Amino acid sequence: ELKVEQNPLFLSMQEGKNYTIYCNYSTTSDRLYWYRQDPGKSLESLFVLLSNGAVKQEGRLMASLDTKARLSTLHITAAVHDLSATYFCAVNYGGSQGNLIFGKGTKLSVKP
């Protein structure tokens, strides 16, 4: 059974600081996804990582994938309050694109 573990689950940061969220998964998977969820809202796609060594960046967020270590990271650079949200990683399971196994999420709070 595929398991996806994120850490930390809660993260309180000061504006301007850097931090990394980690996502470990237990078995081989085709690809890895990062999503953002604001309170009471749906999931917003941030990144899709397709291969070993993949790195993607959007604004202050950068995601990377190491398939050998079964590890993805989401790095936050110079955090701002608008980044406060819950971040989820997810991997495909069962051989089909639509079957995602999610981590428990990292609730990020950026304080001035």
* Binding positions for other proteins, rule: CB under 8 A: 30-31, 33, 35, 41-45, 48, 50, 88, 90, 93-94, 96-105
Q: How far is the CB of 110 from other proteins (least distance, A)?
A: 22
Q: How far is the CB of 3 from other proteins (least distance, A)?
A: 12
Residues sharing a CB contact under 8 Å with residue 88, sequence separation 6 or more, in sequence order = 6, 34, 35, 36, 37, 43, 102, 103, 105, 106
**Which segments of 1-112 does DSSP mark as H helices, in order?**
none
Eight-state DSSP code of residue 53: T
Complex with other proteins: residue 50 or 55, whichever CB lies closer: 50
Complex with other proteins: residue 61 or 105, whichever CB lies closer: 105
